[in-house]
Amino acid sequence: MAETAVTDLDLPPGVRLDPRRGRGGGQYVILTCPVCGREIRCLLSRYLAMKRQGRVLRACSLTCSSIMRRKLREASGNRRHVDEVDEDLPPWVRLDAYRGPGGGRYVIVTCVVCGRETRLRISEFRSRERKGFTPRTCSRECAWVLRRELLQEKKDEDKRIKQRPPRLKNLPLTYDPKALGVYDGTIRQTIRVGRRYIVGDGVSFHCWTGKPYRSKWSFRTPYMELTEVIPITLYPGGIEINGDFKPWSQLDDLARLDGIDPPTGEALGEVLNEMHRIPDDGMEAQILRW
């Protein structure tokens, strides 16, 4: 088909003949980009050659061409429906109601650390999700904070699930009125500073013939299994047990079980304050019973 025989009726919508000819008398066509509306001028012979080869010139640039292909794929149903995309998003991600300049879909990621919202292309979000790096934060600083929190939670969970196996402990007795009762089995409680013991540990007590840590042992008990371990906090004026603070005057029963002489809470407070320098903000301790 000759170029001179081509009319506007023979051209597809969006393409028309340019009434102006080139310097050599060549005929041109004007194409209107269906994406951005920009008009481009193309030589008619080139346009017809591309049409015969099956490569119809439609868009003004590579960017508009990619946008057109994406729209065609969406229209043909190759991509999932928007509602289906919205359903499988994490709780901190939602689909943006506004599309991009080319009709692309976006998601809004709410930072789980500071709450700031970040707009992200859904294709980039899915790519990171497939690689195992689902976006959760807005910046590198927030990512570090989240990572530290997750590591601490994992350590706490592992510590809670995987408790250490029971151990055998040798404990000294430096309070003389209590030594004989522990030896004959009438006293089955002691208060120790720290949080080193768990239920199931075996404890053995010993005492000295003279100065503690400078003389021979006078006796040593066999290992006895701990049946109860109560975490407490010591204060100069009392003890906090299970979140309830009790002054020394209300701890007579605890002093009696611990072999304090006389068996009063005030005497227990004097013994503990004499053995340890208890700070005003408290000192962690445990009540051990076997």
DSSP state of 223: P
Q: Which of 127-131, 187-191, 254-258 has the lowest mean pLDDT?
A: 127-131
Domain count, the chain: 3
Rg (CA), the chain: 41
Asked if 190 and 284 sit in the same domain, the reply is yes
Q: Are residues 227 and 128 in the same domain?
A: no
The residue written with tokens 């006293």 in the block is: 187
Residues 114, 88, single domain; the answer is yes
The tokens for 71 are: 């729209």
> Over the stretch 95-131, which tens digit does the pLDDT of each residue have?
888 888 777 888 999 999 998 999 999 889 989 888 8
Following DSSP, what letter does each residue of 154-213 receive, concatenated? HHHHHHHHSPPPP-EEEEE---HHHHHHHHHTS--EEEEESS---TT-EEEEEEESSSTT
Residues 213 and 232 in one domain: yes
Picking from 79, 28, 78, the residue whose alpha carbon sits closest to that of residue 57 is: 28
Q: Which domain holds residue 277?
A: 168-289
CA–CA distance, 153 with 136 (Å, rounded to integer): 17
The tens digit of pLDDT for each residue in 128-177 reads 888 888 899 999 899 999 899 888 888 877 776 667 788 999 999 888 88
The pLDDT of residue 96 is 85
- Selection from 258, 266, 251, 263 nearest residue 288 by Cα: 258
Write the pLDDT tens digit of every residue in 32-65: 888 888 888 888 888 888 888 877 777 888 888 8
Q: Do residue 91 and residue 203 come from a single domain?
A: no
- Residues 104 and 7 reside in one and the same domain: no
Tell me the per-residue pLDDT of 8-39, one tens digit each, with 9 for 90 and over.
667 788 888 888 888 888 888 888 888 888 88
Q: Which of 161, 188, 210 is the last residue of a domain?
A: 161
174 with 271, same domain? yes
Which of 111, 140, 161 delimits the end of a domain? 161
Q: Which of 66-80, 106-120, 121-135, 226-240 has the lowest mean pLDDT?
A: 66-80
- Indicate whether 138 and 183 sit together in one domain: no
254-259: average pLDDT: 93
Angle at 288 between CA 287 and CA 290, to 5 degrees: 145
- The CA-atom distances, in angstroms, between 48 and each of 2, 29, 35, 54 are 10, 10, 22, 10
**pLDDT for res 103:** 78
Same domain, yes or no, for 34 and 62? yes
Distance of alpha carbon 84 from alpha carbon 80, whole angstroms = 6
Query: In sequence order, which residues have a C-beta less than 8 Å from that of residue 120 and are 6 or more positions away?
Result: 106, 107, 108, 109, 135
Query: Which SS3 state, helix, strand or coil, does residue 102 take?
Result: coil
Verify that 195 and 243 share a domain, yes or no: yes
Together in a domain, 185 and 263: yes
Lowest mean pLDDT among 214-218, 236-240, 241-245, 256-260: 214-218
Nearest in space to 234 (alpha carbons), one of 187, 264, 274, 197: 274
- The Cα 105–Cα 94 span in angstroms is 11
Burial of 277 (0-12, 13-18, 19+ CB in 10 A): exposed
Q: Which of 13, 43, 73 is the last residue of a domain?
A: 73
pTM: 0.48
Residues 262-286: tens digit of each pLDDT: 999 999 999 999 999 999 999 999 9
Domain co-membership, 109 together with 181: no
